[in-house]
Amino acid sequence: MTMIDLGMPGLGGLDLVPAAEAPQTAKDFTSDQEVRWCPGCGDYAVLAAVRSFMPTLGIKRENTVFVSGIGCSSRFPYYMDTFGMHSIHGRAPAIATGLAVARPDLSVWVVTGDGDALSIGGNHLIHALRRNINLKILLFNNRIYGLTKGQYSPTSETGKVTKSSPMGSVDHPFNPVSLALGAEATFVGRAIDSDRKGLTAVLAAAAAHRGTALVEIFQDCPIFNDGSFDVLRRPDTAPQRLIPLTHGEPIRFGPKGEDGLGTSVVVRAGFGLAVAEAADVDPADVVVHDVTDVHLAFALSRLSDQDLTHTVTGVFRDVRRTTYDDAVRAQVGEAREAAQRAGGPDLQAVLRGRDTWTVDE
Amino acid sequence: MTSTDTTSPDTTTPAGSASDGTRRPTVVRRDRVVIRFAGDSGDGMQLTGDRFTSETASFGNDLSTLPNFPAEIRAPAGTLPGVSSFQVHFADFDILTPGDRPDVLVAMNPAALRANIGDLPRGGIVIVNTDEFTPRNLTKVGYAADPLEDDSLADFQVHRIAMATLTRGALESTGLPKRDAERAKNMFALGLLSWMYSRPQEGTERFLREKFAKRPELAEANILAFRAGHAYGETTEAFAVVYEVAKAKLPAGTYRQITGNTALAYGIVAAPHVTGLEVLLGTYPITPATDILHEVSRHKAFGVTTVQAEDEIAGVGAALGASFGGALGVTTTSGPGIALKAETIGLAVALELPLLVIDVQRGGPSTGLPTKTEQADLLQALHGRNGESPVPVIAPQTPGDCFAAVLDAVRIAVTYRTPVILLSDGALANGSEPWQVPDVAQLPTVDPAFATEPNAPDGSGAFWPYLRDPETLARPWAVPGTAGLEHRIGGLEKADGSGSISYDPANHERMVHLRAAKIAGIEVPDLEVDDPTGDAGLLVLGWGSTYGPIGAAARRVRARGLPVATAHLRHLNPFPANLGEVLARYRAVLVPEMNLGQLASLLRSRYLVDVQSHTKVSGQPFKAEELQDVFLTHLPGAQR
């Protein structure tokens, strides 16, 4: 089999998107549609964060597209004054793939949920990740089916009692970050809806990444899974459980110690990682985060348990790999150049083919 | 038209000896010949048939072909399920079908003989590769005795030739291992048939040199085998006659041979030229549509991008996403793929975006008969979605016509902002015919007419994505990157005009009717009826690939002095405006279809006409002979 080197274009995620002529505000990105999520829904916080974040990218609003599937979060595009498509269940990554391939001048965002992305659309998600198309996937994970009124989802904890699992769910859940890394994702991040700062930082890194970026956003469903992430928000429990990542920094978390750093740390344990008390380990043994180390990223993803004992946030992985859409366009460009050199492209010659005969009058 | 697809009396030139001493056989002129090459899946029968067809095309005959092969890539060798065949019909006049019964059967093994001999008329020629007629191979296909030894082939002119042995002998000088040398026996058969039917040889030799450019020793071996087959015919006494079929008198122009799938691919490749749009083909491999992807992916220079997606749904999804971005999205598939794409096609109906969906139909239900033909996806194409979801449907009638059908579908998709389903089938996909190469400059163009300005009737400067063109009822196509036209569309019902989400009952009622009216109002040409005598009582109405056999059967009936009218539907939705009037004009209407009467049922319910249905679902196309008989049984009733 012939292998062809597709090259490594050194572009950033937005380098082919035209820049806005004037500064924009969150208001510019706000459509005239009334937002119709339930009161207290975590989607409001994410929407507010994204509306404020988009103007900071400095790209033309009309070159921004939000594509969604089906579910509560998938109403998102209606509330952004950009181009948008509210498509069908699970298919947004496939539709966005065609759009991103056809239009390198667009910033394409997919908004999806745990059911949309991981259940009905699981196939499209993993293939978008492995292909590495220049699109950003915001996966709103509330660990429940909201729009169909409360059934367990592929991220619900085992044993969860819902309308469709009165004796407790027997399904084992996905770990979305592990799944994405297994699917060859070049960018994986996680944030919590209520953490505007942390969410915005991950979004910024995702936008700058050229390729498919998966951002898992823990988001509360106050109607069917109320308080599901409260232990990650409450001041008395959150510091013990949240493990924020910063590239190049030792991974420390928990209540601050005398040195101003977290008193808990992440250390290596066999092929994986473990949590330890800073006081009990040599500082040299504390793992330093590296977004280019896929083994570390995977091990970090395994620290996050169903019961949220430990929850890693931030950017797990951010590496450069030729994107599918760039490679596809490069081949089209190459074919065009070759045809130009040969004096073409000549459609008439293609239709004629090699063997013709003429019938005279 | 006075010709029929039946053979005229032969004209002969007596045998003699040329001055150089070579034997000169009797030359028999025929107006048409049908040859079937049959062998094991591994024997290269498709290639052999294809080459014979190319020689025939370059000679200038009219032709039509019917490849027939198993779904398995290599079924167990020597078995009946493993038989692969290729039938070619060529003539000195314009023919319509691949022929009912072969005049000549080339059988490379006992299985090929057993599977095909029943189709041969009495007196037909059988050319057999005797090397494969071993006791083991005979037993494998249930021959108790060797049919070459007893009188079971007494009705035929049988030529027993040890093709593998002769090929091996001819290739002795090459030093190729025995097995490799024997593999060229299909070229021996081709050489022999090329001699028998006076076909030009240069094309095949050139083809072999190019095909094996990287293995010149194999090119030479195949050419040697090809020449050996030719020489065998020339020098042995076994063949007393050669046949000549004069060039066909086709309309003036430049011709080439083309299959339906290639013509579909060329239509897709030509779409950027006629629309000014880039094309994105999002697809997933499926028999018998895959060759379209193969061909299109070779022509990226024309502005066509191919995305081989993870599944059927993603293929059509990528195509629709590209259409949203201002390209023309295309997807290609077969029946099972249409089932999977149905929800996305429904989304395209709601979004009102251009999308071309090509269904190369095969036998169903489910996986069915992947390599055989059927027309049973008509109702699926028309109705196979949730809700009131109207989609224009068009069908090509011959392999070459697939090109024009794609451009017609593109016109409708772009003009009316709608998905369009094109129904080809397995017979068109792999069958071939001469195709008059169209002049690119004369291809009909279509303007995508993107929206560039806000359009809100209240003068607010807003953009209303569902404000329709009063003539076509098409909505504006505003692509991302157009400042001021930012808008959101989706599968939820939209308010007429503004496009905002609307659950208003009256609005939904209006939108359902608007979408239906838009499709019903698509401009399609009137149905043309072929009624040469003008007094036919029977109208035979078909659609898709039945065009050939219906036309050939009608010629036979007319040759008996009996009147019959024919008409063929390209547009299955909307129907031509004059269809009801045409149906009412005839005392009897007969609809032959390769399904259980889907079009007939549509016509009955729509026009309240007592349409008679004739159906066939064997995976094989209609034969002219069988349709002729059906027409004849319907004629008396039609005359009353």
**What tens digit of pLDDT does each residue of B448-463 get?**
999 999 999 999 999 9
Quick check: B362 pLDDT over 90? yes
Q: Does residue A356 belong to the interface with chain B, where contact is any CB pair within 8 Å? A: yes
With CA atoms as reference, the chain A residue closest to B299 would be: A335
Domain covering B256-442, topology: Rossmann fold (3.40.50)
Given this model, what pLDDT does residue B2 score? Answer: 41
Has residue B16 got a pLDDT over 60?
no
**Would the CB atoms of A98 and B326 count as touching at under 8 Å?**
no
The owner of tokens 């924009």 is: A24
Q: Under DSSP, is residue B568 helix (H, G, I), strand (E, B) or coil? A: strand
Tokens of B87: 């039938």
- A130 in B contact zone (CB under 8 Å): no
Q: Are the beta carbons of A91 and B317 separated by less than 8 Å?
A: yes
Residue A168 CA to chain centroid, in angstroms?
Answer: 29
Measure CB to CB from residue B490 to each of A86, A106, A339 and give the nearest one. A86
Residues of chain A contacting B346 with CB distance shorter than 8 Å = 88
Segment A21-38 mean pLDDT: 95
Interface test with B, best of A116, A127, A328, A359 (most B CBs within 10 A): A359
Which of chain A's residues have a Cβ under 8 Å away from the Cβ of B50? none
Q: Give the lowest-confidence range in A63-72, A318-327, B177-186, B342-351.
A: B177-186
A71 touches B at CB < 8 Å: no
Q: What is the DSSP string of A151-171?
A: B--TTSPTT--BTTBTT---P
Cα four-point dihedral sign A354, A358, B3, B9:
negative
The CATH number fitting domain B529-639, selected from 3.40.50.150, 3.30.300.250, 3.40.50.920, 3.40.50.2000: 3.40.50.920
With a CB cutoff of 8 Å and minimum separation 6, the contacts of B581 are none
Rounded Cα distance between B342 and B321, Å, is 16
pLDDT greater than 70 at residue A1? no
Report pLDDT for B18. Answer: 52
Please tell me if residue A27 touches chain B, with a CB cutoff of 8 Å: no
Predicted confidence at residue A4, as pLDDT, reads 62
Average pLDDT of chain A?
95
Residue to mutate among B199, B304, B324, B500, with most A CBs inside 10 A, is: B324
- Name the phi and psi angles at B531, rounded to 5: -135, 75
pLDDT at site B586: 97
Query: What residue segments make up the domains of chain B, in order of their start?
Result: 11-244, 256-442, 529-639
For the cut 90, the answer to whether the pLDDT of residue B369 exceeds it is: yes
Measured distance CA(B389)–CA(B515) in Å, rounded: 8
HSE value, Cβ hemisphere, 13 Å, CA-based, for A11? 18
Chain B contact present for A328, CB below 8 A: yes
Smallest CA–CA distance, residue B295 to chain A, in Å, is: 11
B125 inside 8 A of chain A by CB = no
Percent of chain B with pLDDT over 90: 90
Confidence check: pLDDT of B112 > 60? yes
Residues 29-48 (A) with a CB less than 8 A from some CB of B = 31, 33
Q: Which among B256, B269, B270 has the least Cβ separation from residue A353?
A: B256
Over residues A273-286, the pLDDT tens digits come to 999 999 999 999 99
pLDDT digits (tens, 9 = 90+) for A260-306: 999 999 999 999 999 999 999 999 999 999 999 999 999 999 998 88
Q: Is the pLDDT of residue B512 over 80?
A: yes
Which is nearest to A152 in space by CA: A112, A192, A111, A115? A115
B133 in contact with chain A, both atoms CB, cutoff 8 A: no
Look-up of token digits 């692509």:
B479
Q: What pLDDT, on the 0 to 100 scale, is given for residue B72?
A: 84
Residue B437 forms contact with A (CB below 8 Å):
yes
Q: What is the pLDDT of residues B130-153, one digit of tens each?
A: 999 999 999 999 999 999 999 899
Q: Return the pLDDT at A8.
A: 47
- Residue A332: DSSP 8-state: H
Give whole-number Cα distances, B315 to B125, B268, B348, in Å: 47, 15, 14
Which pLDDT value is given to residue B22?
A: 59
Residue-wise pLDDT tens digits, A191-215: 999 999 999 999 999 999 999 999 9
Is ipTM > 0.95 here? yes
pLDDT above 60 (res B7): no
Tell me what the pLDDT averaged over chain B comes to. 94
By percentage, how much of chain B surpasses pLDDT 70?
Answer: 96
Cβ atoms B378, B598 nearer than 8 A? yes
pLDDT bin (cut points 50, 70, 90) of residue A63 is: very high
Give pLDDT, residue A205. Answer: 98
pLDDT of residue B249: 86
- One-letter amino acid identity for A224? F
The reply to whether B529-639 shares the fold of B11-244 is no
A10: pLDDT confidence band, cut at 50, 70 and 90?
A: confident
A297 and chain B in contact, CB less than 8 A: no
* d(CA B344, nearest CA chain A) in Å: 7
The mean pLDDT value for B487-509 works out to 97
pLDDT band at A344 (very low <50, low <70, confident <90, very high): confident
Report d(CA B401, CA B381) in Å as an integer: 20
What pLDDT shows up at residue B1?
A: 37
Q: Which fold has domain B11-244?
A: Pyruvate-ferredoxin Oxidoreductase; domain 3 (3.40.920)
Does residue B256 carry a pLDDT above 70? yes
Topology given in CATH for the domain delimited by A12-228: Rossmann fold (3.40.50)
Taking an 8 Å cut-off on Cβ atoms, the answer to whether A345 and B301 are in contact is yes
